[in-house]
Amino acid sequence: MPDRTLRGQAAIVGVADAASADGTLAGTVRRLQGQMIAEALDDAGLALGDVDGLFVNDSPGWAPSLELAEYLGIAPRCTDSTQTGGSSFEVHVEHAAAAIAAGLCDVAVTVYAATPRSDRARGGGYRSGQTVGATATAEWELPYGLRMPLGAYALAAARHMHAFGTTSEQLARVAVDARRWAAMNPRARLREPITVDDVLASPLQASPLRTLDCCLVTDGAGAVVLTSADRARDLRRPPVFVLGAGTCHTHAMISQMPDLTVTGATVSGAQAFAMAGLGPTDVDVVQLYDSFTITVALLLEDLGFCPKGEGGPFVAEGVLGPGGSLPANTTGGGLAYTHPGQFGIFLLVEAVRQLRGEGGDRQVEGAEVALAHGSGGVLSAMATVVLGTEATR
């Protein structure tokens, strides 16, 4: 069993995120990074001069943490540019909690910003299938017509359907419930209600996934501030303690995934729960990476919320939506709220707000334990964080 020495030693004390109903944000990526850090520090009641740990995975330039620190005018004594895609920020929380517990830093910040929707309008930005430079995917997968990243998830969905009888109707309910949450979020990109039939009638993108099975492409930004549990208790907001964390990556290319129906969340989730001394039944609200509807079903199984192969029937019951037994992705998630390319930072921000009782119309009553789980690459890199309102139990 993993060492529990990190349990409750660090806390998230400030959060901020930026998204809009039209999917665009004003300003450059660098400006948005600075804005998010300033807002998250203000949320915590801290100042930029307090920051001595900087965690950033993706940034203009060649050295993300170095160049961002220079822009901010700070000199961190702990720096981390770990890049695992959309799960990077959950990894950063794990690393920051360990650094704080070891005395390597006192106040840590992780931040993300991207503007793919605005970039596309300007004639640039991400295009499906785009690969920059010489990569293994470019050499071994794209020549066979695999549409990336969508095609990778379509392969996983097709395999899950073949192995377990999962249906498109079942997966569609994930998108339907995401819209139900988004309807209560004025900043969400897609707030109009949809039905299972609407999802099934949307254009096929990569069989068996359709347009409404897929995440958004929007601008977005966010930041999270952590410090020691002792210092956290004296700050502006109620602390949200890091109770457990775990990471596991199993492959880079989808063709090298050991089993298309099993992700590294089986390892990261088990480690996070063991460190926290908790289990799936203790979780009040979950924030799961929903790049595609199949992603949610796989993660629910691998994190232990339902048995392997039963993700389809589980989500089909509406358990993830408002009033359900497992409230999930309460912003509307990447399917309906925002998705600027790497959604993991927003999972943490919303988990914290739910535990602080700041969810407004979408608040989950009595939430004391939350799970935020990031998925990076093509189901490649998994990172789980368990958060709670109490450091000890």
Which token pair is 2? Answer: 């993993």
Active site residue 153: no
Catalytic residue among 112, 144, 153, 337: 337
Lookup result for tokens 């490649």 = 380
- Residues found in the chain: 393
Q: Cβ(84)–Cβ(376) under 8 Å?
A: yes
Which token pair is 226? Answer: 């952590």
Instruction: Quote the DSSP letter at residue 181.
Output: H
Q: Cβ(343)–Cβ(195) under 8 Å?
A: no
Catalytic residue among 112, 144, 153, 289: 289
How many angstroms separate the CA atoms of 210 and 152, rounded? Answer: 14
Which token pair is 92? Answer: 């950063």
- 29-44 and 64-72 helices, crossing angle to 10°: 70
How many angstroms separate the CA atoms of 229 and 240, rounded? Answer: 9
How many angstroms separate the CA atoms of 109 and 270, rounded? Answer: 26
- 88-101 and 344-355 helices, crossing angle to 10°: 60
Active site residue 126: no
Q: Cβ(72)–Cβ(17) under 8 Å?
A: no
Q: What share of the chain is helix, strand, coil (3-state, %, to 5)?
A: 40, 20, 40
Beta bridge partners of 385: 245, 372
Q: What type of residue is 354?
A: Q
How many angstroms separate the CA atoms of 371 and 205, rounded? Answer: 30
How many angstroms separate the CA atoms of 256 and 59, rounded? Answer: 28
How many angstroms separate the CA atoms of 391 and 393, rounded? Answer: 7
Query: Would you call 68 helix, strand, or coil by DSSP?
Result: helix
Q: What residue ranges in the chain does DSSP mark as E strands?
A: 10-18, 53-56, 78-80, 107-114, 204-206, 209-210, 220-228, 240-249, 285-288, 369-376, 381-388
How many angstroms separate the CA atoms of 243 and 238, rounded? Answer: 15
Q: Cβ(139)–Cβ(171) under 8 Å?
A: no
Cα-based torsion angle of the residue sequence 307, 312, 318, 322 in order, rounded to the nearest 10 degrees: 70
Residues with a catalytic annotation lie at 289, 337
